Amino acid sequence: MRITRQVLNWSRLACHSTNISCRQRFCTSQHTMASRHTHSKRIEGLDKNVWVAFTSLAADPSVVNLGQGYPDIPPPSYVKEALAEAASVDRMNQYTRGFGHPSLVKALSQVYGKVCERQIDPLKEILVTVGGYGSLFSTMQALVEEGDEVIIIEPFFDCYVPMVRMAGAKPVLIPLHLKSGKKTITSADWYLDPDELSSKFNSKTKAIIINTPNNPIGKVFTRDELQMIADLCIKHDTLCFSDEVYEWLIYRGHQHIKIATLPGMWDRTITISSAGKTFSVTGWKEAVAQGLLKNFELMGQPECYFSSLAEELECKRDRMAAIVTEAGMIPVIPEGGYFMLVDVTSLNQDLSHMVGDDDEAYDYKFVKWMIKEKVEFI
C-alpha cells in the first residue's frame, strides 16, 4: 500500500518544547570573565531537551508533521471572534487582575463548579497562568522544596522532571505496565501496579503528579485507579498535582474523572488545565471567558465544543489507527488526548546506517529516519 505523502506548508519553527543546541555547553572555562558569567546551579542539566534533534529536521516544509502537540485545524470561529472583539475595547489591552481576569475566573468557577459539583471561589481557588505549563511551574515552585520527593508516572510529559529538579526535589518514577497478550491494545491496557506504587511513597513524598488523559499514551485513568492513588495520598498526607489539559478530549465509552472530586482530595489537589487545548488555541497561552460561558450553557448538548471536538477527533484517531495498521505497525488506541503511541517493532527497520550516539534509543533513531528518509510505505 502506498501512503500518499502530503506536503505540509509549515515554514515556521513552531515548537512544543524547543531546545538549546547540543553544541552549546555550559561554561566551565578557566577564563575569569566566562567563569563569572556562569549560570546558576538550579539549571544544571536542564538545557537538554528531547526535541533537540527533531525540530530542525522537522522544519523542512516537505516533512509531514505529526510529531508536535498542536492542531493545524482552526479554532472555533466564535472563540476567535471573542478575542477580536475583546481587543477592540481599549481597556482590554491593559493589565488586568494579576491572579486572573475577573470575568474569566468567574466563568471558570461556573464551568468547573458544575463539573466538580461544588462551589469554587473564583478569587481564592483559581489562578490563571501562562498556559498549563505556567501552572505546573507555579505549583512546583510554590509547593515543592529542596529534599522533597515527587512521584511521576511514566511515560510523562517531559517538563515534569526538569521542573521538579529546578525546585530542588527528587523525581521518583513509576512506570505504567502493558498487559500482555492482547490483540488490540488500547491505552487502558497500561496500568499501575498497586504494590509498586505504594512502595514509592515515603515520609519525604511531597506530591504525586498525574496526567489524565495522559500524554503520550492517551490513558484515561478510571475511578478505581484514581481512588487507589487518592488512598495513598490521604494515607501519606501527600499533595496531588493533576494535569488535565486534555480533559475534554475523551473518546466514546470513556469518562474523565477529576481526582479532586474524590472524598478527601479537594484540599490536597491542584487541578491544572488549558484553554489552549480546550479551544484548540495552543498559541494563546490564555483562556477566553466568553468561550467558556457559551459552552457552559451548552454542556451536555451535541453543539457543546467540549464534546463536539472530541467527536471530530475520534474520527481522525480511527483514521490514523487504520493508516498505521496498514503500514504494518501496531497502534495503542488512545482513550483520550492528542496522541497515539505506535509500536514499530514489526517493521523490523534496519537503522544501523543512522548516524548518532551508540546508546541512542531505537525510537529516537527511528523518528529521525522517518523524517530524513521521507519514507513511502509500500
Partner 1 sequence: MKRLQRHRVEFVQLAADHKAVNVGQGFPDFGPPEFAQEAFSKAVNGGPMMHQYTRGFGHPPLVKSLAKFFSRIVGHEIDPFEDILVTVGAYQALFCAFQALVDEGDEVIFIEPFFDCYQPMVKMAGGKAVYVPLRPRVEGTAGLSSGDWVLSPEELASKFTPRTKAIVINTPNNPLGKVYKTEELQVIADLCIKHNVLCISDEVYEWLTYDGAKHVKIASLPGMWERTVTISSGGKTFSATGWKVGWAIGSGHIMKHMKAIHQNTVNHCATPVQEAVSQGFEREYELFGTPESYFQQLPAMLHHKRKKLASCLEGVGLQPIMPEGGYFITADISSVKVDLSSEGGEDELTDYKFVKWLTKEKGLATMPVSTFYSPEHSKEFDKYIRFCFVKEDSTLDAAEDILKKWSQGQ
Name the β-bridge partners of 150: 171, 207
User: Cα angle vertex 53, ends 49, 56, to 5°?
Assistant: 110
Q: Is 341 in the site for partner 1 (CB under 8 A)?
A: no
Of the candidates 121, 140, 133, the residue with the CA atom closest to the CA atom of residue 286: 133
Q: Does 243 bind partner 1 (CB under 8 A)?
A: no
Segment interacting with partner 1 (CB under 8 A) among 7-15, 148-156, 246-254, 257-265: 7-15
Task: Choose one: 44-52, 304-312, 345-353, 356-364; the region binding partner 1 (CB under 8 A).
Answer: 44-52
CA nearest to 39, candidates 28, 30, 31: 28
Residue of 304, 273, 290 whose CA lies nearest to 84: 290
Burial of residue 187, with CB atoms counted within 10 A of its CB: 0-12 exposed, 13-18 middle, 19 or more buried: buried
- Which residues contact residue 84 at a Cβ distance below 8 angstroms, ignoring those fewer than 6 apart? none
User: Which residue number, 283 or 328, has a Cβ lying nearer to partner 1?
Assistant: 283
Q: In whole angstroms, how close is the CB of 102 to partner 1 at the nearest point? A: 10
105 part of the interface to partner 1, by CB under 8 A:
no
Window 116-145: residues binding partner 1 (CB under 8 A)? 130-131, 133-134, 137
Size of the site for partner 1 (CB under 8 A): 63
Q: Do residues 282 and 222 make contact, with C-beta atoms less than 8 angstroms apart?
A: no
Residue 61 CB, shortest distance to partner 1, in Å, is 13
Cβ nearer to partner 1, comparing 122 with 331: 122
Tell me how many degrees the CA angle 226-312-377 measures, rounded to the nearest 5: 95
- 221 or 306: CB nearest partner 1: 306
Distance CA 21, CA 48 (A): 8
| Pairing mode, strands 205-211 and 149-154 | parallel
- Figure out which of the listed residues 12, 182, 252, 353 binds partner 1, where binding follows CB under 8 A: 12
Whole-number minimum distance, CB 41 to partner 1, in Å? 6
Query: Which cell numbers in the block locate residue 292?
Result: 467558556
Q: Which of 231, 285, 298, 308 binds partner 1 (CB under 8 A)?
A: 285
Stretch that binds partner 1, among 72-80, 108-116, 222-230, 300-308 (CB under 8 A): 72-80
Contacts to partner 1 by CB under 8 A: 10, 12-20, 24, 26-27, 32-34, 36-37, 39-43, 46-47, 49, 68, 70-75, 80, 83-84, 87-96, 98, 130-131, 133-134, 137, 159, 162-163, 166, 280-286
